[in-house]
Amino acid sequence: MTDLTLRRVIKRYGDEQVVHGIDLDIREREFVVFVGPSGCGKSTLLRMIAGLEPISGGDVHIGDTRVNDVPAGKRGVAMVFQNYALYPHMTVRENMSFGLRNVNTPKTEIRQRVDEAAAILRIEPLLERRPKDMSGGQRQRVAIGRAIVRKPKVFLFDEPLSNLDAKLRVQMRIELARLHRQLKATMIYVTHDQVEAMTLADRMVVLRDGRIEQSGPPADLYESPCNLFVAGFLGSPSMNFLPATVTDHDADGVWVDLAAGGRLHVPRDGSGLSPGETVTVGLRPEHVRPADEGTLAGSLEVVEHLGDQTLLHIRLGEDSVVIARDEGRSAHTAGENIQLAFSGSTCHLFDGDGNACPILSRDAAIT
Amino acid sequence: MSNESTNRRPDTGRIVTLVVLTVAAFLWLVPMLWVLAMSLKPNEVLMHTTAGLLPVPFTLDNFIQIFDTAKVTRWFLNSVGVAVLMTSITLVLSSLGGYALARIPFRGARFMLIFIIAGLTVPEQAVFIPLDTMFASWHMNNTIIALVTPRLAVPFGVFLMMQFFKAVPKELEEAAILDNASRLTIFFKVMLPLARPALTTLGIFTFLYSWNDYLWPLVSATQENHYTITTGLASLQGNFAQSEGLGFLMATAVFASAPVLIVYLIFQRYIVRGIAMSSGK
């Protein structure tokens, strides 16, 4: 059963269209993360599902019901906001029970549901406190608790961890994953933080300028991005892009000359490419390593020691910098000349329009 | 060490400022202390001299006399009635108007706001004659309705409340919408409790304004039993010969100021904040 369906959903503000015909099926109990840069329309899409933003075109179905004209409170969704949005003058218990009181739920049931949610989130000692007497993490727990007590069909999270410090963010991320397993609920989560997206999502939806660029399991998107945008957006540090020219292609892949020097065989389907065509080779930092003899050579500009790994920023030419990831504490120092080695089989290839060339099964080698 | 000794050295500029401020505050206070002292002295003494800030010899006769004089008590109660009614209705209208302008999109909202703000530019004296003519034609002068109604249009109040509601995070209201709350529930159970500081500020200002209001009650209430305390006191001062003496007059002045003083002392914090808010700080 599909729990939530978006069909050609459009959003316009005056003459400006910000969401362009989104089609999406979200299965029951799925944890879907909308991810994308600021202004890509991910929050607008979430707010349209919530009913906080009118839909300019298309349909939103929750279960079997078309909810375009159903008021937000009646859609059976609950939302957790970035700034918690707790009622400051109410205690935690009052905050959590407010929604239930509005639909005349019996007092005993309200108490029971609040106590249950508080136990799940381990916030029982906070029930009589007011929001101002709590930390950011505690407030966010209460905000989630307020959503849980309503037993919604769909949970919506709008960048809920953005206001927390880094350590708390990691903690809450784990809590949310645990909560998803425990509640077995459908969850839609908006974030611009790709680490959150990668770690939480069953399925990631990458948006740009109000359109879905790609959707699928996080690992699939990371390993097989459909275009330059998705490839560049996912991964930290981002994928390295090297301009290249197609010299030949055969059944085993595509031969390219890198603008920074070197010839490379990439096992990708190059049937749509012709010799002389400009393409982009994509290379993840973890697949590039310093070597005594490599394909590329450059000057080491910056060395970032991160403890378990070191990031090396190598300048290849005027406009070209490659980031390589070295395990542990790298012995290389800024200023030295360095050679880089990588396998063509780990490379991605994008045509002149930025679309990825499909992968071929066989390996290839650097020449 | 040297730093500590520098810090401990008395700051001459600060001391001079404090002395100047203390003297200025005392000079400002002298007339009030003088009134208080005279209100606590017998009339016979005041006929010889009004000098002195100490109430010697001391008497409470003047204050006792106020409660024996029915009309002063009546004026006081009139003022209480007008101030309480005006404050309550202003709070209701301003908060409703402010909320609508801040949060409910409707056609003509911008024009409405400009229209309301434009009300600030109209001097109250400019509309006294038409107002008086209007209430006279309705035979409503010398009624509490005539005293209160023209003062209920408070553009400042609507503006103050609108600014406050605009500052409340929108997500709070959206959370309430998702919590199945109706517009009225949101207003009464979420927004209004949050607006308590702004409502208190507006309430105090309205109460003080109403209590001190002189011109409109002077025009509207022409019969002695409809006077407010301000117009009543003025009538007594104008007929000093018919009054119960200077001590009594001073006692009525103290009596009339007492509520204002009490309100100020209790809500001092909100008044200071309100002045800061209205100056846009």
Pairing of strands A240-250, A253-258: antiparallel
- The answer to whether residues B165 and B195 touch, using CB atoms and an 8 Å cutoff, is yes
- Shortest distance between the Cα of B177 and any Cα of chain A, in A, equals 6
> Measured between CA atoms, how close is A27 to chain B, in angstroms?
22
Mean pLDDT, rounded, for B114-121 = 90
Average pLDDT over residues B85-101: 96
**Nearest Cα residue to B148 out of B203, B243, B197, B213:** B213
- Strands A203-208 and A31-35 turn out to be parallel
Query: What are φ and ψ of residue B168, in 5° steps?
Result: -75, 130
Q: Looking at residue B244, what is its pLDDT? A: 67
pTM (2 d.p.)? 0.81
A2-232 fold? Rossmann fold (3.40.50)
**pLDDT: which is higher, A237 or B277:** A237
Name the pLDDT band for B280 (thresholds 50, 70, 90). very low
- Lowest average pLDDT, out of B21-30, B132-141, B227-236, goes to B227-236
Cα–Cα distance, A36 to B25 (Å, whole number): 62
Judge whether A291 is closer than 8 Å to chain B, CB to CB: no
Ranges of chain A whose pLDDT falls below 50 = 1, 362-367
In this structure, the strands spanning A289-291 and A337-341 are antiparallel
- Right CATH number for A240-350 from 2.40.50.140, 2.60.40.1180, 3.30.1540.10, 3.30.9.10? 2.40.50.140
Task: Kindly report, residue by residue over B183-206, the tens digit of the pLDDT.
Answer: 999 999 999 999 988 898 899 889
- The candidate with the shortest Cα–Cα distance to A159, out of A62, A36, A13, A56, is A36
Asked if the Cβ–Cβ distance from B175 to A85 is below 8 Å, we say yes
Check residue B49 and give its pLDDT. 84
* Nearest C-alpha in A relative to B191: A87
Cα(A90)–Cα(A102) distance, integer angstroms: 15
What pLDDT score was predicted for residue A333?
87
Give, in order, the Cα–Cα distances in Å from A159 to each of A46, A82, B110, B160: 11, 5, 33, 32
Predicted confidence at residue B281, as pLDDT, reads 39
List B residues 164-203 in contact with A (Cβ-Cβ < 8 A).
169, 171-172, 174-182, 185, 189-190, 193-194, 196
Dist CA B227 CA B231 (whole Å): 6
Q: Give A323's strand partners.
A: A313
* DSSP reduced 3-state for A34: strand
Domain range annotation of chain A: 2-232, 240-350
Reported ipTM: the value is 0.86
Give the whole-angstrom CA distance, residue A258 versus residue A296: 9
- The whole-number pLDDT of residue B8 equals 61
Distance set, CA B187 to CA B98, B190, B208 (Å): 11, 6, 27
Average pLDDT taken over every residue of chain B: 87
- pLDDT tops 90 at residue B279: no
Region at A64 (left for phi over 0; alpha for psi -120 to 50; beta for the rest): alpha
- Name A278's bridge partners: A245
Count of helices and strands (H, E) across chain A: 8, 20
Chain A CB contacts of B200 below 8 Å? none
**Comparing C-alpha atoms, which of A79, A83, A214, A87 is closest to residue A156?**
A79
Calculate how close chain A gets to B185, using CA atoms only, in Å: 8
Pick from A298, A305, A242, A250: nearest CA to A273: A250
Nearest Cα residue in chain A from B173: A85
Angstrom distance (rounded) from CA A311 to CA A305:
7
Contact state of A98 with B176 under an 8 Å Cβ cutoff: yes
Tally A–B CB contacts below 8 A: 58
Separation between Cα atoms, residue A258 and residue A297, nearest integer Å:
12
Residue A303 near residue A333 (C-beta atoms within 8 A): yes
pLDDT tens digits, one per residue of A254-268: 999 999 888 899 999
Q: Is residue B112 over pLDDT 50?
A: yes
Between CA B218 and CA A321 the distance in angstroms is: 83
Q: What is the DSSP string of A94-161?
A: HHHHHHHHHTT--HHHHHHHHHHHHHHHT-GGGTTS-GGGS-HHHHHHHHHHHHHHT--SEEEEESTT
Contact yes or no for B178 and A78 at CB 8 A: yes
Residue B2 has pLDDT above 70, yes or no: no
